[in-house]
């Protein structure tokens, strides 16, 4: 029987399979840095309130720092029999410094310890994710500024609708990502709340100073209720919900990149560094990165559902169910960071096929709305103008030409109010230039939006 740190009440050893089944050290060892950070702060707080002596604190802190080096150098022996990251580190500390190591757990429980570790971990990871997100938004803004006048068809129902610019299109992506950034920053405030001091569920009888510990660990607030402190996983669910939304946005970008890089669209070419070939078809250049990001979206959705289901119907306070919170959270973090990183690297290397975009924007009667607006400015009610233009489009379909190819005489057959100046508004440049208002697609507005976005970012 391996001696358990909690084994005093037990007469028989844990079943071997149960020991392996209930252990979490295979995945929660990634929390070691935060476990050690929290333990050092806890030891210093216990010294601050007189529970530990300065000498004992120094031994504990030095021992924990040595253990951290052992882990970093790959010299630490993780034992399944010791269940988790907490007991593995505590056991090793006791091996190194003797009885003093057993005093570290005074006034705390693994329940508030693990809740603290996860929050410390997620706080750092949220900051790293925000850094990658900022890098991606910056890349999009840079390309949008460069392509502020590049014409592209705008779509509704994936049908040509109105001309727009590639820069304006990319800035729409930026708006989505800025909302994601705001959600993550808001979520971080609730992550950065310290549960340590709640102990198992009811607090501790030792004279702890939770505000002192919170200051050492950089927490903005402390959890007010000990029962909630150890059982709350809202912050993990909220983060995963924000991640799911962000991944949904990346999947939408991915779909457009896949379409645009196809031979049928040929709007862009992705760098070879972000594509792969076919094992049988030598001509293929597959957009594997956006396809894989699109696929990984479902993975994060699944983790959100998993965490919501995990917490469903759980009574207060801590339950062993909560061991299952880490793998979905860890994989969400890893997936999101990876997707953002590869996108931030891929976007600046996109080659834009400007002539192909312009040619596509000329197809599909994309300036029809401009013709209707022209008639409205001549005094025609919009619904009547809509009908007139619809008939003109039908005529173009029948004879096989675009609107700007119709003679003035034919135009006046649909409305005598149409004059020579109609051809000015039927050009693609005229169409986008006319939408010269905040949020519009005019190149001047795209440049102005770029500057506002840089300031917001």
| Residue (of 162, 159, 170, 171) closest to 432 by Cα position | 162
Gap between the Cα atoms of 241 and 205, Å rounded:
37
Cα angle value 341/306/329 (rounded, 5°): 35
Report the sign of the C-alpha dihedral through residues 164, 167, 168, 173, in that order: positive
Q: How confident is the model at residue 20 (pLDDT cuts 50, 70, 90)?
A: confident
Q: Which residues are catalytic, by number?
A: 157, 278
For the residues of 92-156, what is the DSSP string, one character each?
Answer: HHHHHHGGGGGGTTTT--HHHHHHHHHHHHHHHHHHHHHHHHHHHHHHHHHHHHHTTT-EEEEEE
CA distance 184 to 446: 26
Task: Tell which residue, 415, 425, 423, has the closest CA to residue 373.
Answer: 425
The pLDDT, as a whole number, for residue 17 is: 87
Q: How many CA atoms lie within 13 A of 181 on its CB side?
A: 20
- Indicate if the pLDDT at residue 324 is higher than 90: yes
pLDDT in tens, 293-314: 999 999 999 999 999 999 999 9
Q: What are phi and psi of 236, to 5 degrees?
A: -70, -40
DSSP 8-state secondary structure symbol assigned to residue 4: P
Cα(41)–Cα(194) distance, rounded to whole angstroms?
A: 12
Predicted pLDDT at 7: 67
**Average pLDDT score over residue span 108-128:** 98
Residue 34 · residue 117 · CB < 8 Å: yes
Residue 384, pLDDT score: 97
The answer, yes or no, to whether residue 126 has pLDDT greater than 70, is yes
Nearest alpha-carbon partner for 443 in 178, 169, 176, 260: 169
How far is Cα 336 from Cα 126, in angstroms, rounded to an integer? 10
Inform me whether the pLDDT recorded for 42 exceeds 50: yes
Lowest model confidence (mean pLDDT) among 253-262, 274-283, 411-420: 274-283
Per-residue pLDDT band for 15 (boundaries 50, 70, 90) equals confident
Domains within the chain, CATH numbers bracketed: 7-106 (1.10.275.10), 111-197+224-358 (1.20.200.10), 368-426 (1.10.40.30)
Q: Which 8-state DSSP code applies to residue 314?
A: P
What is the per-residue pLDDT across 203-252, written as a single tens digit (0 to 9) for each?
999 999 999 999 999 999 999 999 999 999 999 999 999 999 999 999 99
pLDDT for residue 1 is more than 60: no
Beta carbons of 311 and 237 less than 8 angstroms apart: yes
Residue 49: what pLDDT?
98
Helix H or strand E encompassing 215:
helix 210-217
Structure tokens at 241: 């919900």
| 149, pLDDT greater than 60 | yes
- Mean pLDDT over residues 154-162, rounded? 94
Q: For residue 320, what are the contacts with CB-CB under 8 A and spacing of at least 6?
A: 22
Per the prediction, the chain carries an average pLDDT of 96
Average pLDDT over residues 131-160: 97
**pLDDT(156) > 50:** yes
- H/E element, 160: strand 159-165
> Is residue 15 classed as helix, strand or coil in its secondary structure?
coil
Is the Cβ–Cβ distance between 417 and 380 less than 8 Å?
Answer: yes
Residue 325 has pLDDT above 80, yes or no: yes
Confidence of residue 5 (pLDDT cuts 50, 70, 90): low
pLDDT of residue 300: 98
Own/partner pairs, 273-277, CB within 8 angstroms, 24+ separation: 273/349, 274/342, 274/345, 274/346, 274/349
Span 99-110, pLDDT tens digits: 999 999 999 999
Rounded average pLDDT over 420-430 = 93
Percent of the chain with pLDDT over 90: 94
Percent of the chain with pLDDT strictly greater than 70: 98
List, as own/partner pairs, every contact residues 154-161 make where C-beta atoms lie below 8 angstroms and the sequence separation is at least 24, other chains included. 154/366, 154/441, 159/364, 160/360, 160/361, 160/363, 160/364, 160/365, 160/366, 161/364, 161/366
């Amino acid at each position: 029987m391996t001696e358990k740190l909690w084994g005093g009440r037990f007469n028989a050893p844990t079943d071997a399979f149960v020991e392996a089944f209930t252990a979490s050290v295979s995945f929660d060892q990634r929390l070691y840095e935060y476990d050690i950070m929290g333990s050092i702060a806890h030891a210093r707080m216990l010294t601050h309130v007189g529970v530990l002596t300065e000498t004992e604190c120094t031994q504990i802190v030095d021992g924990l720092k040595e253990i951290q080096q052992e882990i970093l150098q790959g010299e630490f022996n993780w034992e399944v029999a010791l269940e988790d990251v907490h007991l593995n580190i505590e056991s090793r500390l006791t091996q190194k410094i003797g009885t003093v190591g057993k005093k570290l757990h005074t006034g705390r429980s693994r329940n508030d310890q693990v809740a603290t570790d996860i929050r410390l971990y997620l706080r750092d990871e949220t900051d790293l994710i925000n850094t990658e997100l900022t890098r991606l938004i910056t890349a999009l803004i840079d390309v949008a500024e460069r392509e502020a006048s590049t014409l592209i068809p705008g779509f509704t129902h994936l049908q040509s609708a109105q001309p727009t610019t590639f820069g304006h299109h990319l800035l729409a992506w930026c708006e989505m990502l800025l909302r994601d950034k705001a959600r993550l920053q808001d979520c971080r405030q609730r992550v950065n709340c310290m549960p340590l001091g709640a102990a198992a569920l009811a607090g501790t009888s030792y004279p702890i100073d939770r505000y002192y510990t919170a200051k050492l660990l950089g927490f903005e607030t402390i959890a007010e209720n000990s029962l909630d402190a150890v059982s709350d996983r809202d912050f993990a669910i909220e983060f995963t919900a924000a991640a799911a939304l962000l991944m949904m946005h990346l999947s939408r970008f991915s779909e457009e990149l896949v379409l645009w890089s196809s031979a049928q669209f040929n709007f862009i070419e992705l760098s070879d560094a972000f594509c792969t070939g076919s094992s049988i078809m030598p001509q293929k250049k597959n957009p594997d990165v956006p396809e894989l990001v699109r696929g990984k979206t479902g993975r994060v959705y699944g983790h959100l559902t998993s965490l919501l289901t995990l917490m469903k119907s759980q009574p207060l306070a801590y339950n062993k169910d909560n061991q299952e919170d880490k793998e979905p959270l860890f994989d969400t973090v890893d997936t999101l960071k990876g997707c953002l990183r590869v996108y931030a690297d891929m976007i600046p290397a996109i080659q834009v096929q400007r002539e192909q975009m312009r040619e596509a924007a000329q197809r599909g009667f994309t300036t029809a709305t401009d013709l209707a607006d022209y008639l409205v400015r001549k005094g025609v009610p919009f619904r009547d103008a809509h009908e007139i233009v619809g008939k003109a489009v039908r005529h173009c379909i029948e004879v096989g030409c675009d609107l700007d190819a119709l003679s003035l005489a034919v135009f006046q057959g649909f409305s005598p109010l149409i004059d020579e100046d109609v051809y000015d508004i039927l050009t693609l440049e005229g169409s986008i230039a006319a939408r010269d208002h905040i949020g519009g697609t005019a190149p001047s507005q795209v440049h102005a939006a770029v500057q506002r976005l840089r300031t917001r970012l």
